[in-house]
Chains A and B, each alone.
Chain A
Amino acid sequence: MYAYDDFDRDFLAERNRQFRAQVERRLSGALTEEEFRPLRLMNGLYLQLHAYMLRVAIPYGTLNPGQMRKLAEVGARWDRGYGHFTTRQNIQFNWPQLTDVPDMLDALAEVGLHAIQTSGNTIRNVTADHFAGAAADEIADPRPWAELIRQWSTDHPEFQFLPRKFKIAVTGSPHDRAVTRAHDIGLRMVRRGDEAGFEVIVGGGLGRTPMLGPVIREFLPADALLPYLEAIVATYNLLGRRDNKYKARIKITVHENGIDRVRELVEARFVQTQAEFDAAATAAQFDHIAAQFAPPVLRAADPAPYHAAREADPVFRAWADTNLHPHRDPSHAIVTISLKAHGATPGDATSEQMQVIADLAEAHGYGEIRISHEQNVILPHVARTDLPALHARLRRYGLATANVGLVSDIIACPGMDYCALATARSIPVAQDIAVHFERLKLEHDIGPLKIKISGCINACGHHHVGHIGILGLDRAGVETYQITLGGDGTEDAALGERTGPGFAYDEIVPAIERILRAYLSLRKGRAETFLAAYRRLGAVPFKAALYDKERADAA
């Protein structure tokens, strides 16, 4: 992975020095809160419901063991012994004191991590396919491009005060695991003959006005990426609305002006930006970056112990069936470490767990770690022969839950347990659903299912693209949960449809059970997933299951 050079290190040290001085000036009274607030937000420091929160970027979800250990140390030393991995491949520390944050940032800088542009109306952390560099279905590793974008966008002077925040996701695989159509810009690597390039999607997003982004360019030669991105963001910077926060995202710009008009403006601007960019220097920098993403040399190893463990140990087999994904080399596997133990907070990891993951990545994973937007940790390259030993270690630390892609592998935003913007809780809803279906022993019978929960309309929990989406709202001082069905964040992206009236906090788990029992009775067989059954049957039978029961009870 990319290692910081002197330029990166000096830039970060200077930026941290500035922030330390800004904190001192706030504490001395030289800066008012109004003056200080935008400065702290530019460095990822929020004030939440109960405390400050520091959001640290994990660029394109890639960490090395040293970085993971540093996150563990920061959590143990300055927070409450844990961190929360988010739906944008970031980590949040929920309890830092303002006076400690400069030290936390210096500690993070030691391993090339920072919190810059994790807030504010800037280009945010670039996210990527969490199986990048390992997946069997991949055209190419998208992370060198993501790193190039990170370098271009960090402290980009023209793009520090955009109309609104701006999120870019990139995938190198035709199977979209990066939700590219729900980002301000989505990039999908494609080939045209021998030439590598990108399909460029613009104007997707969730939030209060969910939209799937249309394609602005079907094929962009890879070496034109930065000037083209510059053209899009510059066009948005001028055209995007600043009069109304709720209409300021590029999805509204595209919606109001039409994709054809936006394309025209971007292409005109692109003529300029391409002429201004130093193509040779960019290419040289890209090569410099790409060389650091060379895939590990995979060792040849006999997979016999893996097969033997599958035969002998049903617990291992259950885990292998759900938590492994095909690696491009069949002697290896991609391992997803679930941070969704039944009843735990989705995405939370203790400092001890983070240290264990770092150790395991070194022992069995060629030193590579990924964080997924689904709030799990991935070891992208593990020899199958090592899997039994890895699984045994994971079990000891509560990290071997066999539920990836199942009903309890829920994405949930922090909701009103932490977030100042939330209108209802989401974490306890996720916990209750996970525990309930574990108790019913229905999880494996139900099969592949993505439940996504947001605690407010801003949709950090991606509820619109959940097969079952849950949105928590405040209705006259009472937590109320709306359900959407049929959403999908993959290459077949779809926005979920609202079922109807919402449910109270203590009604939401039974409501989800009614939907899933309807699915079990209506499906053609185990091979028909919930999403496939929903697409075949439509919303009607599921709405009937949801609401007819209620009416019967009321009668």
Chain B
Amino acid sequence: MPRDSDVQVVTANLLREGHVVWLAADGSWTRDLSRARTFDDKAAAEAALAEAARRTDLVVGCYLAPMRATPQGPEPVHFREAFRRAGPSARAAHPF
């Protein structure tokens, strides 16, 4: 079994909308982290990142984010990635 942060996902923002997206197993971009393709091999992750980063007509700012593999899918290791998935934590308290 890989250790806690040994899985990685490819993430980016959509060029047009700006939304946070992850690279899915079928090569599409998904807004649902649980559908993201996980890489436990560093070289494979780097290769997928390089390939994804070429899709500059679709996405900007591609990078690899460390995740913890769980039965429900990848879970963020770092709180920054948790906020990227969840959106602003302050919105719950927002009066609008």
Interface, chain A (partner B; CB < 8 A): 26-27, 29, 32-33, 47-52, 80-82, 95-99, 341, 343-345, 348, 350, 398, 416-418, 425, 427-428, 431, 474, 477-479
Residues of A within 8 A of B77 (CB): 477
Bound-state Cα–Cα, A341 to B56, Å: 42
Q: Which of B53-84 contact A (CB under 8 A)?
A: 56-57, 60-61, 77-80, 83-84
User: Given A29-B56, A425-B89, are A50 and B19 neighbors across the interface (CB < 8 Å)?
Assistant: yes
Does residue B15 face the partner (Cβ distance < 8 Å to A)? yes
Indicate if the CB atoms of A47 and B18 lie closer than 8 Å: yes
CA distance A350 to B96 in the complex (A): 7
Q: Given that A50-B87, A51-B18 are contacting pairs, would A341 and B60 also be in contact in the complex, using a CB cutoff of 8 Å?
A: no
Residue among B20, B80, B91 with most chain A CB within 10 A = B80
**Hey, which chain B residues are within 8 Å of A97, CB to CB?**
16-18
| Residues of chain A within 8 A of B61, CB atoms compared | 47
Q: Known contacts A417-B88, A417-B89, A418-B88; decide if A345 and B94 are in contact (CB<8 Å).
A: yes
Report A305 CB to chain B, min CB distance, Å: 30
B83, A47: Cβ atoms closer than 8 Å: no
Contact A51 B17, beta carbon cutoff 8 Å: yes
* A82: contacting residue among B13, B57, B83, B96, CB under 8 A: B96
Give the size of the chain B interface in residues (CB under 8 angstroms): 26
Instruction: Give Cα A477 to B77, complex, Å.
Output: 8
Would you call B90 and A428 a contact (CB within 8 A)? Answer: yes
Are A52 and B18 in contact, with the CB atoms below 8 A? yes
Cβ contact of A33, chosen from B56, B80, B96, cutoff 8 A: B56
- The contact sample of 15 A-B pairs, CB cut-off 8 A, is A29-B57, A48-B18, A50-B18, A50-B20, A50-B84, A51-B19, A97-B17, A97-B18, A341-B95, A343-B95, A350-B96, A416-B83, A428-B89, A431-B90, A477-B79
How many Å from the CB of A179 to the closest CB on chain B?
25
> Which residues of chain A come closer than 8 Å to B80, judged between CB atoms?
49, 416, 474
Given the complex of chains A and B, what is the CA–CA distance between A303 and B7 in angstroms? 69
List residues of chain A with CB within 8 A of the CB of B91: 417
Return the contact of B56 from the options A32, A80, A416, A478 (Cβ within 8 A): A32
In the complex, the answer to whether A49 meets B84 with C-beta atoms within 8 Å is yes
Q: Is the CB of A47 within 8 A of B13?
A: yes
Judged by a CB distance under 8 angstroms, whether B43 is at the interface is: no
B18: which A residues are within 8 A, CB to CB? 47-48, 50-52, 95-98
Cβ contact within 8 Å between A344 and B79: no
- Contact call A398/B19, Cβ cutoff below 8 A: no
**A4 vs B89: C-alpha distance when bound (angstroms):** 40
**Nearest 10 CB-CB pairings of A with B:** A417-B88, A51-B18, A427-B90, A52-B18, A417-B90, A97-B17, A431-B93, A33-B60, A428-B90, A343-B93
- A474 and B80 CA atoms in complex are apart in Å by 10
Cβ contact within 8 Å between A344 and B60: no
What A residues does B15 contact at CB under 8 A?
26-27, 33, 98
> Within the complex, what minimum Cβ distance (angstroms) separates A250 from chain B?
30
The CA-CA distance from A431 to B80 in the complex, in Å, is: 20
Q: Which residue of A lies closest to B19 (CB)?
A: A51
Instruction: Known A425-B90, A477-B77, A477-B78; judge A27-B95 contact (CB<8 A).
Output: no
Given contacts A27-B16, A29-B56, 6 further A-B contacts (CB under 8 A): A32-B56, A345-B94, A417-B83, A418-B88, A431-B90, A478-B79
Would you give the 0/1 interface string for B8-33, flagging 1 where the beta carbon is closer than 8 Å to chain A? 00000101111110000000000000
* Contacting residues, chain B, for A348 (C-beta < 8 A): 94
**Chain A contacts of B84 at CB under 8 A?**
49-50
| Complex: A350 Cα to B88 Cα, angstroms | 17
Determine the chain A residues whose CB is within 8 A of the CB of B93 once the complex forms.
343-345, 428, 431
Residues of A within 8 A of B78 (CB): 477
Contacting pair A398 B79 (CB below 8 A): no
Nearest CB to that of A98 among chain B residues? Answer: B16
Give the residues in chain A near B79, CB-CB below 8 Å: 416, 474, 477-479
Q: How far is the CB of A421 from chain B (nearest CB, A)?
A: 11
Compute how far the CA of A116 lies from the CA of B86 in the bound complex, rounded to whole angstroms.
31
Nearest A residue to B95 via CB reads A344
Beyond A27-B16, A97-B17, whether A50 also contacts B88 by CB under 8 A is yes
Contacts of A48 in B (CB 8 A): 18
Docked complex Cα distance between A97 and B17 (Å): 5
Chain B residues contacting A98 (CB-CB under 8 Å) are 15-18
Measured between beta carbons, the chain B residues less than 8 angstroms from A474 are 79-80
Check B96 against A81 for contact (C-beta < 8 Å): yes
Counting chain B CB atoms within 10 Å of each CB, the highest count among A50, A348, A474 belongs to A50
The residues of A that contact B94 with a CB separation of less than 8 Å are 344-345, 348
